[in-house]
Structure 1
Amino acid sequence: MARTGIWLLLASLTLPGCAENGSARPQSGTDAPSGSASAPTFTRGASSTAPSGTTAVAVAPSASALEASPTASASASADLGPLPDVEVTNIGMHIGGEANTAAEKQPIREAVHKHYDDFRRCYGKLESPPKEATFGVDMRIEGAGGHAKISNPRNTFDDDAITSCFVAVFETVDFPKSKKGIAQMVSFSLRFRRK
């Protein structure tokens, strides 16, 4: 489902700018925002037209090519600037239908922990950050692992932009395969405390 969204996004970004000769044409007067990935340039092969009775089809890059290329993500956009002096702590996690042992929680906690600096950068975007605040989400992590579907963000911040930034960071977390190989619903909360 997420890959379908990526393809639709790529199509909407690249198809309107295609020139007659098949190469991507830059839009005049617009520059890509700082830190964003530029759109790829496409060039047709030797034949400029499809043979009669056939339909020309655009070939999409392979999944491995997409994974290897940089993407505009919360991590990428959040990595600019110094880290604010804020402590990030996991203050709550519940895995639905599980015993919720430390061993069950550890792989999820470690996967999110790798992104604590991205959460700090989101927090640093606040004009007047609170001394202490919390943020939590519900996540559906498929049995095979990967990126979770994030829902029900809740927080003590009074800023929609910070909520969006935190959700975007959670969406970049690459979770490991579950031991049972089944999907998990996880409630996860973080506390932010300025030092």
Structure 2
Amino acid sequence: MAMTQAQILIDFEEEVGEAFGAVSDADVIRWFNLGQSRLRRKYEKVAEIVWTAALRSVALPTDYLGFGRLTVNAGISPEPWYVFGDTLILQDPGGASSAGGARLHYYSEWPNVTAAAPSQLTTVEDQACMNFALHRFFKKLLSNHSHYARFAALVGQETMEREWMKQESDRYYQDFLDARDDTPSLPPAFFYEG
């Protein structure tokens, strides 16, 4: 089930209890989205690209991060090419021999969770991102005395142990790393396939 922004906030509040008031909703969602980018999982997308005769290069989509594969449209003869940065370059010095097109399979970042867009990760990956957000929560509390004092006042314990908070932060981060390492990673990149 895809986690919505509201569900992320509810789950986060269940974990930290009364201390939830020590951070804003925006902080929690920002940390969750940051966890998505640190999972080392990329979003697989497909785009149609076209070129005209004699064209030497084609700009790839603006959200392009990595190459998957290129499937030339039916009736088009494949030409030697390579990807450099965010550009597909045709190797023939005269450019493309004819107009054509192809379907590009590529990787981009996962879309951020917003009020209108739920998470598109798996349940395990969502939990990993939640662990990352909890790690960042405890790191924030430890980073500044005023945050720490606010947290201690919210939970009603003036002598909250800093060492306990550091252990909680480290535990959540280790849970994040374990989940990240247990989920499949991207296939190797193909720098040339023409």
TM-score, scaled relative to structure 1: 0.27
- The structure whose RCO (Cα within 8 Å, separation 6+) is larger is 2
Q: Select the structure that is richer in helix.
A: 2
TM-score, scaled relative to structure 2: 0.27
